[in-house]
């Protein structure tokens, strides 16, 4: 039994890396006792804003056995998206680096499907489900539990040798495997992410008020962006990377090898006026398989107009 657990664990990890995942760790599928009170307090204080989906399936978020019958293991995976090129034109509204290329949901799902197929061919029929930011799974908690990194003060998972520019994904299954141990926190006394956040969304170490985050305002919020936020977005029109940009651990970030995540020339060339003059037809064609498609053209134009109003209020 021990030999089969060890063999199966090795097979899964080797195949995950062969498929292009950057890192893989495994933890026991069980109730997240430490996360429960944090999650409850976060929701009670309305730090999720209009993200009402965070309130749904509360029990399932804390216990993977409610998502997969007989679940024994959570395989956590990281996929690097750090781009080789970055936006440098101040006239171009900034897009979060994770959205430069093809939608990560599509890319990761393809890899996870191949991983499951491999497991069933090499190990046998298993009951399992794959996830990537698309179901009630506390991905960061599982990544930490699986030893892939520690939870930074900006609540991103930080790998000690590669930083935090990673997508997270999971395979929850009824296969019993060998489990990895968490690693210790290396943030120390550093507060760069807290100090750099222009909207004060990181209200204290390890607690982010989602309803104050630039990513929330530019992606999740469907109403008008509050006037008190004018001039605070630092030219970000979709998402935000500020807390990652200032993190010292991201000096270890290396460019992704995933071709799907590389930016298009069009994205880098779009100025404010280009976004405002864009037609729905052009948007649908250009961003059909982009994370930006989730926000939609009207919200993107709202965001760009908000940036312009912020610049005007400063002048």
List active site positions: 133
CB-CB contact of 81 with 98 (8 Å): yes
In this structure, the chain runs to a length of 315
- CA 143, CA 8: separation in Å to the nearest integer? 20
- CA 304, CA 276: separation in Å to the nearest integer? 7
Bridge partners, 6 (sequence order): none
- CA 187, CA 15: separation in Å to the nearest integer? 31
Closest CA to 225 of 123, 150, 313: 313
- CA 51, CA 221: separation in Å to the nearest integer? 8
H/E stretch holding 26: strand 23-28
Count other C-beta atoms under 10 Å from residue 140's C-beta: 18
Coil, helix or strand for 275? Answer: helix
CB-CB contact of 97 with 267 (8 Å): no
- CA 198, CA 23: separation in Å to the nearest integer? 31
- CA 105, CA 154: separation in Å to the nearest integer? 23
């Amino acid at each position: 039994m021990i030999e089969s657990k060890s063999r199966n664990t090795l097979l899964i990890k080797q195949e995950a890396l062969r498929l292009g995942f950057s890192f893989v760790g495994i933890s026991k599928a069980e109730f997240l006792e430490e996360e429960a009170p944090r999650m409850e307090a976060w929701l009670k204080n309305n730090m999720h804003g209009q993200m009402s989906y965070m309130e749904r399936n509360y029990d399932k978020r804390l216990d993977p056995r409610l998502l997969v019958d007989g679940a024994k293991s959570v395989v956590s995976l990281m996929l690097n998206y750090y781009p080789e090129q970055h936006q440098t034109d101040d006239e171009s509204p900034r897009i979060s680096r994770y959205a430069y290329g093809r939608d990560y949901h599509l890319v990761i799902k393809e890899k996870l499907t191949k991983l499951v197929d491999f497991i069933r061919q090499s190990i046998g029929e298993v009951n399992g489900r794959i996830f990537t930011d698309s179901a009630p799974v506390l991905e960061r908690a599982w990544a930490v539990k699986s030893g892939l990194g520690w939870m930074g003060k900006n609540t991103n998972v930080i790998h000690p040798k590669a930083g935090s520019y990673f997508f997270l994904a999971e395979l929850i299954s009824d296969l019993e495997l060998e489990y990895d141990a968490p690693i210790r926190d290396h943030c120390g006394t550093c507060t760069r992410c807290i100090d750099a956040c222009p909207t004060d969304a990181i209200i204290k170490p390890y607690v982010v008020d989602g309803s104050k985050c630039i990513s929330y305002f530019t992606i999740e919020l469907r109403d008008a962006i509050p006037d008190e936020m004018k001039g605070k977005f630092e030219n970000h029109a979709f998402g935000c990377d500020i807390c990652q940009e200032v993190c010292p651990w991201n000096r270890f970030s290396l460019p992704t090898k995933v071709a799907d995540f590389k930016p298009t020339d069009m994205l880098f060339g779009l100025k404010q006026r280009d976004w405002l003059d864009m037609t729905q037809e052009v948007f649908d064609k250009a961003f059909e398989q982009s994370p930006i498609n989730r926000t939609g053209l009207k919200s993107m134009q709202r965001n760009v107009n908000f940036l312009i109003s912020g610049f005007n209020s400063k002048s």
